[in-house]
Structure 1
Amino acid sequence: MAKSLRSKRKRKMRAIKRIRYGEKELQRLKEMVAKTEEKEAKESTVLHKLQSKFTVTSMDTDNQTPDESKAKVSNTLGAAVMETDVLEASAHKKKTMLNAKGQYPEWMNSRRLKKQKAVVKRLKNKKKK
C-alpha cells in the first residue's frame, strides 16, 4: 500500500532509529543490572553483619534445628530493612505533598502539581480567615 518516496524514507529512518535506540536501551539495561547486583551484594553484607551481631534464643530451641532458627533471624531482619524503606518513601506531607526540602514527589506530573498548588493556596487562605 505505502509505496510513495516519502513513506519509504520514513520507514528507512524508523529502522535507523530502532538500531540506534536499541543500542542505547541495551546499554541502559546493562547498567541497571549492574546497579541491582551491587545493591543486593551490599544488602547481603549488611544482613550478615547484623546476623553476626545478634543471636536469637528462644524457649523452644530444643525442638528447632539450627537452620530453622537462622531462617527466623533472617526473616525478622529482612522485615526490619523493609520497614525503613517504607519510612523513607513517605517523607512527603499528606496535605501539601511537599518533602522537607520543599519539593514535590518525582512521580507527580505538571498538571497534578498545578492542582496541588491551588489546593495548598486555598488551605492557606482558609487559615488566614
Structure 2
Amino acid sequence: MAKSLRSKHKRRMRAIKRIRYGEKELKKLVDMVEKTKEKESKGLEAVEELQTKLGDSMETEVIGTVKSTETCKPLEPKQMEIDQNKQTVRKMKTMLDQNGQYPEWMNGRRLRKQKAIVKRLKKKRNQKK
C-alpha cells in the first residue's frame, strides 16, 4: 500500500522537511539553553550583590537563586469552590441541556446522528397516539 509515485514523492519531501526543520529546532534549543544559563548567572550575580549590600546586618535565606529577607511559610491549600449552578442538567435521550444546547464534546456527525434518533423517537411516540 502507498506505493504510488505521488506518495513516494510526498514521503521524500517530508524527509527533506524533517531534516531542514530539525536543524532549525536544534538551533532554537541551543539558543534557549544559552539564554537560561545567562539568566541564571545574572540571578546569581544579583544575589551576590544583594548579599554584599546587606552584609551581616540582616539574616537572609537563599531559595534557589532568589534572595528573601522573610522566612518562608508553606502555602496553605485553598478549598476549591464549586459552583453548583454551573452543573448542567441534561436529558439523556435528547442530550440537550436546559438551554437546548448539545454538549461541547459532540462533533457534527454525532449531532446529526443524535438529531435523527430524537426525530425517530418523536415519530414513534406520535404514531402510538
Give the TM-score normalised by the residue count of structure 2: 0.46
Query: Which structure has the highest strand share of the two?
Result: 2
Query: Which structure has the highest helix share of the two?
Result: 1
Greater Rg, structure 1 or structure 2? Answer: 2
Give the TM-score normalised by the residue count of structure 1: 0.46
Higher relative CO (CA 8 A, sep ≥ 6), structure 1 or 2? 1
